[in-house]
Amino acid sequence: MPQPAERPARPTLADVAAASGVAISTVSRALTRPERVNATTRARIETAARELGYTANTSARALTSGQTRSVAVLVSDVTNPFYFGIIRGTQQELKSAGYTQLLVDTEESDELEDATLRRLRSSYDGVIIAASRLTDRRLSELAGRIPLVAINRQTRGVPSVFIDTPLGVGHAVEHLVSHGHRRIAYAAGPVTSWSNERRWRALRAGAERLGAEVIRVGPFSPRRIQGAAAADAVLNTGATACVAFNDLLAIGMLGRFAERGVRVPDDISVVGCDDIFGADFCNPPLTTITAPIEQAGRVAVSILMAQLDGSGAPVRSAATLPTHLTIRGSSGPAAVPPAVPPAGLTRG
């Protein structure tokens, strides 16, 4: 019985070799290390390859070379617009480096993060983790074993890109205090978030420096829906201004304040973090700490590439990206003027 005439399979190196009358190995070299093969032979091979529509099988290639030319990008919640920015940045940069992006949502779970990384181990050459929930120990152990870059997570020995939101928080405090706010609430994010702690500390430090009071409420899950609870909690503190863990929460708060008839910024000022899509056109437009989110994704990729291409020498790079306060309509003078006029402004 003759074998079926159909040949739905994709052409392999063997096909190209047969078509151009050389050995498989020669074709392989012609395609991957052009200088190793004679120009005329190479031309013949390239023509044959093109005519056959040959493309290398990535699995087979990965098997021998150990290189997959793809990078896993872990985000803790694809739902969060902040990560869209990261994804955009990594996507752009990975593509231009000829890599493929494996996008994974870890759902804020350290276990899932760990399990995914293990399960896909042979599918990627390196990893970019945004807002990891892993312990320092585990993260640095991981970084020792596989090329990895963390975004917004500084851990000893782990290459990272840090968006310096605490810096912006400092500016936010100055902005608020200069407007007469003396009591500032912080609507906290998840306890497992490293960034959350950093922002809170920056807020406290800034307030202390300028003689303002801070009250922390929360934690809240960084989602818009949680903004309602956060808004109510903030109202209870008697603060005239608040800083939210991130814009998502802040936008949610804005909605709740409107619902309750609390005027922003007349009754209360709201400051967010990140400057995500929407922060500029919500109502009122949100005063926030603008973070170079996309850039963070791009920088993360470039640090990763350095590790990958490099000769194995530990790169152990750590980039810090500055942020700035973007003042929009959601913040303004404090509702109730302070009992004592801000004479202390020229203290010294």
Q: Which positions lie near DNA, rule CB under 7 A?
A: 9-10, 12-14, 21-26, 28-29, 31-32, 36-42, 54, 56-57, 60-61, 63-65
Nearest approach in angstroms of CB 57 to its own copies is 4
Query: Measuring CA to CA, how many Å separate 117 from each of 125, 142, 164?
Result: 11, 9, 27
User: Using the rule CB under 8 A, which residue among 6, 35, 281, 339 binds its own copies?
Assistant: 281
| Of residues 324, 302, 328, the one with CA closest to residue 315 | 302
DSSP notation for 190-215: -TT-HHHHHHHHHHHHHHHHHT-EEE
User: Using the rule CB under 8 A, which residue among 101, 152, 269, 330 binds its own copies?
Assistant: 101
- Report the DSSP pairing between strands 324-326 and 287-290: antiparallel
Maximum C-alpha span of the chain: 100
φ/ψ of residue 125, rounded to 5: -95, -25
Binding partner of residue 283 among DNA, its own copies, none, CB cut-off 5 to 8 Å per kind: its own copies
Tokens read off for 221: 């899950």
Tell me the C-alpha distance between 328 and 326, whole Å. 6
User: Using the rule CB under 8 A, which residue among 138, 157, 174, 278 binds its own copies?
Assistant: 278
Number of residues that bind its own copies (CB under 8 A): 44
Binding partner of residue 91 among DNA, its own copies, none, CB cut-off 5 to 8 Å per kind: its own copies
Q: Does 251 bind its own copies (CB under 8 A)?
A: yes
The region of 61-69, 174-182, 210-218, 339-347 touching its own copies under the rule CB under 8 A is 61-69
Whichever of 10 and 201 has its CB closer to its own copies, that residue is 10
Tokens read off for 294: 């996309």
Cα dihedral across residues 40, 42, 48, 50: positive or negative: negative
CB atoms within 10 A of CB 209: 12
Q: Does 282 bind its own copies (CB under 8 A)?
A: yes
Whichever of 81 and 292 has its CB closer to its own copies, that residue is 81
> Interface residues with its own copies (CB under 8 A)?
8, 10, 53, 55-60, 62-63, 68, 70, 78-79, 81, 84, 87-88, 91-92, 95, 100-105, 118-123, 145, 251, 254-255, 277-278, 281-284
